[in-house]
Structure 1
């Protein structure tokens, strides 16, 4: 008897419906995260001020996602004020503190200390503000992260200056703010687009008045489109749009744990890309520290302290 199903065309599976599509998008997201750290470091040699780059970072997603705002207004209005403040802390405050830390250190420090210490910062916040104790499963990853931080500084003590230590302190503070932002994202109950709108619109409403009244310096009008283009692509389109939506897509195809584990490779990628792109050297101690922190974040992701984009 003939197989009657042979007379019907088999449904084709599109690439974006497979795990392979998730891996492709996630690889792009990790590359963008590394690019974010590199551009934060490169700002020190750019004619653009921090406020100019921040404006680009938040204006691009607002313009792109604005048509989707009105259908989500009722959801945004339901988020309580404390959670909104936590999310907005990951905007302008994080940006300026991370930028100040980047100017005093290197791309390897930026790429490792911010995403690499976020699980540690989240554990600290949970302990101080929520009364949660450190579990035995968290001890090893947090120990690896702490060891990486100590090695990153002590391993190059001959080259560490007072400015370097100030930069490390600022980057660790940025990591603490990012951890609070991460907790805020969990509490909003919103989808990726709604969270992106909340962060971008709130940050844009904050940064524009600060620039207009002179609270933050701006070089607007003193740089070319060509000089601003890398920041438009990496910070605005890349970080603001693709990484936010792409990470959510990757989670839907690969799962949160696997996506977060692969995402943990961004500090190592940042350190490697900084060598040819920014001309920075990578000391042996720094490389080992980055590896320790990367493994620490991977283990933390597997024990529940996941670090989102």
Structure 2
């Protein structure tokens, strides 16, 4: 396969896993698996897989630096607890809006406040579109239910803030995909699991073993390890914008799949939010500039070849 074909293959793998994350996380509420339990299962399995590999490769020195620890606390423990908890309060469509839709915005805000990186024109356009969509959505929801936002929406937004900070720090510190993946999983397990075992409530007896195994394998292996590595490989072959734009579609597609699969309803307010946040996150107007740039490069290359 060509490098481009490989890139789209990695994108497809990442999309399937990220879309599955939305569906399976919502299933936790239906299968009576709490956020405390799911976070513990996720990092326990990832730790058991990754730590022996690091020891075998004699590649543990990076773990003692502050960067992996801080990334684990922000993008590991806090992100997972907030995200998994949110799915117990609201349907999957809310995750696409307040989590995945807000991640690009929260990433830009994190870059501005942490490292003084100014907003570009595309970010400002996205900001206007997203705020408009959320305002219209909140007005419609208030008319229908008397409540504009719920606890789950707030938790998803907190998750988006954590992931935005995580993304900016990861880019700034330039950790490799392997070290970032292993560091987050291992430090999250080291810090969270003792607290979970000693102090936090447990509801594992309320869920079936088959459900616990399914969720542990999917979130501990596919989400933590495979999706991270496949996404990085997709970026290497297609570029950050193209890979990121396509992959961002996954949670929005999952929100639509959840309607028949999980019997979740789509109100006009939710549809408005999905469309507005999707457009703001994907920034489709950049695709036209991207294609024009590729066409100009191709034209210059053809001109050079004909001259030679």
Instruction: Mark the runs of 5 or more structure 2 residues left unpaired by the alignment.
Output: 288-308
Listed as ranges, the matches of 1:92-107 within 5 Å are 92-107=77-92
User: In 2 relative to 1, CA 167–224 (structure 1 residues): closer, same or farther, beyond 3 Å?
Assistant: closer
Q: How many Å separate the matches in 2 of 1:160 and 1:43?
A: 25
Q: How many Å separate the matches in 1 of 2:93 and 2:6?
A: 29
Q: How many Å separate the matches in 2 of 1:222 and 1:97?
A: 21
User: In 2 relative to 1, CA 197–32 (structure 1 residues): closer, same or farther, beyond 3 Å?
Assistant: same
Hey, what does 1:178 align to over in structure 2? 163
Deviation string 1:72-124 (CA, Å, 9 cap, x unpaired) is: 323333x435x632442111111111223222221001122112111221232
Hey, what does 1:72 align to over in structure 2? 59
Question: TM-score, length-normalised on structure 1?
Answer: 0.83
Q: How many residues align?
A: 285
Deviation string 1:160-219 (CA, Å, 9 cap, x unpaired) is: 4659422222211111111111122213322211111111011111221112212x2112
Hey, what does 2:265 align to over in structure 1? 281
Which of these residues, 243, 246, 261, is aligned with residue 230 of structure 2?
246
Question: TM-score, length-normalised on structure 2?
Answer: 0.83
Which of these residues, 248, 266, 285, is aligned with residue 264 of structure 1?
248
Q: How many Å separate the matches in 2 of 1:135 and 1:244?
A: 27
Residue 300 (structure 1) shift: 9.1
> Is the contact between residue 142 and residue 148 of structure 2 (CA under 8 Å) also seen in structure 1?
no
Instruction: Mark the runs of 5 or more structure 1 residues left unpaired by the alignment.
Output: 1-14, 304-309
Hey, what does 1:128 align to over in structure 2? 113
Q: How many Å separate the matches in 1 of 2:256 and 2:265?
A: 9
Hey, what does 2:151 align to over in structure 1? 166
> Is the contact between residue 133 and residue 272 of structure 2 (CA under 8 Å) also seen in structure 1?
yes
> Is the contact between residue 22 and residue 250 of structure 1 (CA under 8 Å) also seen in structure 2?
yes
Q: How many Å separate the matches in 1 of 2:241 and 2:277?
A: 17
RMSD: 2.5
> Is the contact between residue 148 and residue 292 of structure 1 (CA under 8 Å) also seen in structure 2?
yes
